[in-house]
Structure 1
């Protein structure tokens, strides 16, 4: 079944040129972020006042910001932070959501009621309000941004995983594992989670896009990455007061955020279609 699913993914990518383009763009962005120290022509934090607000050109591919820093170099290193935050926040949210969802769905009863009520309460609180509250108690920085995003994005995954767990736990191999005396922890980790892994992968892929958007929002509000470090969101925040004077400062990071989020959403849709049960699947 796993081999068939990966074959389905390859088939979807071959048939869907838009999806293949999305994968290529993501690979380029990831490689550019990983090898930013090689590709960046200048020190991203080097201030050259006399070069401030230069338009894109041969010397500075993306121009310079209001401190004369090379914008292409800052975009490369900013992409590293944005993608890193997106991936790590996704791992945190997916791990927490999977744990809560499987426990809630597997044990049911009061455990399910308590956990789901907690999830519903957290989902009813506006994310923006939670961001502001957490930012008061947590200092700005990558680690705290990851914690904030992870704390705000795991609930939907938990509900999705719970629904899948409720279905899987009634299957014969899970019932047999219970009768044979296997522990609940082993049944959840060895039988239930592998059975719903495709659902978790789809949710995680979409969650990366949400995490990148949320990091951009935090940084845009001044609650995320702080100077002199840069992320695409913080670059947008710095550019908001210079839109009329230097529109390229907002164009490039905004475009990169848009493309990254769009590509992850497309990739998530590819996984969803590939992992859907087919009539001829066995």
Structure 2
């Protein structure tokens, strides 16, 4: 396995840990996103002081736009955790993000240029989507949460994630130079969202508790920025979404979301397809 692919799998590990950590820490979605983005901003400042990258106007603008989009998407994903649970929300979110972001990479950024690459990439995405569909099956509809609300929330969140991946690639930003602007954009969007959520007490001890999630995200985000530059958006993002394996199982075994035996069989089969599709995308370079 090449070094580029290994870098692409680092976000998968830490983004898989993130939703489990946030669900375990608790708090309202606005407290979770404020804590996550503030923790990320602190980590980004430390990284910049050590690495001292050159941050030009393009990195500042497009990095901040990317970060703002992520915070919007992640806030809505945090809302979906409460509506349908981590183990249900993550697979659906992953499918939407893979579809949207891969299409942006292929149609707007010229990735997977040959017919063979597009065929293999399309097959891999289809396999991943089938796997994700299997992970969402449940025998008792009453245990699935408010699926209509959850799907709507995740559709909205996927738009934010598309912008998160797209803007750094518009100017082919270096991961190190884009990291602090992204963190600034994330925190700024979170503060903006907090203005509409005063009843949820945006600034509380739960916000502080979620600072650790920001450190976890910072590791994943920096690795993803480097991966997107070296692997391309379609490949880098698709591999990063292998976090669904860790997050889904973590939601079940750590957070305690209940599944029947049949549901567990379907989940394991679905996750196997997700991993297989991710490997195909990794080879499609």
TM range (shorter): 0.3 to 0.5
- Which TM-score applies when normalising by structure 2? 0.33
Largest Rg, 1 or 2: 1
Whose helix proportion is higher, 1 or 2? Answer: 2
Q: TM-score normalised to the size of structure 1?
A: 0.34
